[in-house]
Structure 1
Amino acid sequence: MEFDFTPVIDYFPTLLKGVGVTLLIGLAVALLSILGGQLVAVISLYTRKAVNWPLRFFIWLFMTTPLLLQLYFLYFGLGELILIPAIVVGILGLGFHYMAYNADIFMATIRSVSHGQYEASRSLGFGHLRTLRYVILPQAFYRALPQLSNNMIIMVKDISVLSAIGIGELVYVSQYAISITFRPFEFYITIAVIYYLINLMMEAGQSWIERRAAYRR
């Protein structure tokens, strides 16, 4: 078999659009899952059981069911009740999925902060919320950075699952190009290289963020 990358060159602008969609979705999901995970962790740890048990069930549900099933449920299940654009479903589905994992990480790192720091902050006149905001959560966030970064690298690769509901990310536009050119290996090799380069950039960003976090501590 001879490889011919001419069709890949012809469709490269289309692939770049898919990369752009992938990165934009990744950014939205990262913000939703990290901020939401932090909020879910705080509510789960510092509220009554009537409130935190439903959130713990949410964490358990999204961590124990397949991502594709969650996307189908949101897209086809809720789609019967509410008209939701596919890209919104994709961001919410991935966001909730990784929010559950990030919440679990934040719960562990919040617990790892010495309770003496909480008591010292309260003795200095800080209220409960200000203590969480200025003392507990910053330390918990820095401790969670390595695991959060790893989750985000995995999440970017999981964006390819969104092609199942018709979102024009990298894999979806590649499949479209393959259906026209009938050159699957060339396109699959190309998108594998693209994902590898994205991973390299994210790993470099992770190292930079962790160095900055270590310096600030």
Structure 2
Amino acid sequence: MEFDFTPVITYFPTLLKGVGVASLVAIVVAFMSIVGGLIVAVISIYTNKVVSWPLRFFIWLFMTTPLLLQLYFLYFGLGEWVLIPAIVVGILGLGFHYMAYNAEIFIATIKSVSGGQYEASRSLGFGHWNTILYIIVPQALIRSIPQLGNNMILMVKDTSVLSAIGVAELVYASQYAISVSFRPFEFFIVIAMMYYVINILMELGQAWLERQTAYRR
């Protein structure tokens, strides 16, 4: 078997467009899943069961069903009533999926903050929600960086699943190039290397962020 990377060079701009789409999706999903996960965690811990139980069910539902099934449900199920662009469905599907996982991380890190800090803050005149927002949550955020970083690395790789609903990310772009060039192995090698480089860069960024915040833990 002879390798021929000429088609890869020809369609490399197409692959770069796929990287751009995947990066855009990943950035939006990261913001949605982290902020949403933090909100879900705080509400589920500090509110009554009438409010927290539906959120717990949300976490359980998205953590116990496959991501691909969730995407199909949103795209084909809701698509019967509302026409939603594939990229929006992909962002919502990935966002809710990782929001559930991030919420579990935040629940654990919030509970790991010493209860004495809550009592000390209240004794200094801070209100209940001010204590949570300005004392407890910032510490929980810092403590959650390693787990959140790992989740976001997994999420970036999971953007490849969006090709199943027609989102033109990296894998989808490569499938088009393969269908024209009939050189699948060469393209698979290149996109694997591209994902590897992205992962390495994210791991370096995570390590830098952990070093910057280590003294605050």
Indicate the TM-score class for this superposition, using the shorter chain for normalisation: over 0.9
Q: Which amino acid aligns with 2:163?
A: S
Are 2:109 and 1:82 aligned? Answer: no
> Where does 1:1-217 land on structure 2 (aligned, <5 Å)?
1-217=1-217
Matched residues in 2 for 1:176 and 1:170: separation?
10
Misfit runs of 4+, over 2 Å: none
Displacement of 1:216: 4.7
Q: Which amino acid aligns with 2:183?
A: R
Q: Which amino acid aligns with 1:65?
A: T
Displacement of 1:26: 0.6
| Secondary structure in structure 2 of the residue aligned to 1:125 | coil
Matched residues in 2 for 1:193 and 1:46: separation?
44
Q: Which amino acid aligns with 2:80?
A: E
Matched residues in 2 for 1:141 and 1:29: separation?
17
Q: Which amino acid aligns with 2:42?
A: V
Q: Which amino acid aligns with 1:57?
A: F
- Structure 1: give runs of 5+ residues left out of the alignment: none
Matched residues in 2 for 1:80 and 1:120: separation?
54
Kept in 1: contact 2:159–2:169 (CA 8 A): yes
Q: Which amino acid aligns with 1:18?
A: G
Greater Cα shift, 74-83 or 101-110: 74-83
Displacement of 1:135: 0.4
Q: CA RMSD in A?
A: 0.8
Q: Which amino acid aligns with 1:33?
A: S
Greater Cα shift, 207-216 or 114-123: 207-216
Q: Which amino acid aligns with 1:191?
A: I
| Secondary structure in structure 2 of the residue aligned to 1:171 | helix
Q: How many residues align?
A: 217
Q: Percent identity?
A: 76
Displacement of 1:215: 4.0
| Secondary structure in structure 2 of the residue aligned to 1:84 | coil
Q: Which amino acid aligns with 1:152?
A: M
After superposition, the C-alpha distances for 1:138-180 in whole angstroms (9 at most, x for unaligned) are: 1101111100000000010000000000000000000000000
Kept in 1: contact 2:142–2:216 (CA 8 A): no
Matched residues in 2 for 1:134 and 1:209: separation?
20
| Secondary structure in structure 1 of the residue aligned to 2:144 | helix
- Structure 2: give runs of 5+ residues left out of the alignment: none
Q: Which amino acid aligns with 1:201?
A: L
Matched residues in 1 for 2:49 and 2:27: separation?
33
Q: TM-score, normalised by structure 1?
A: 0.98
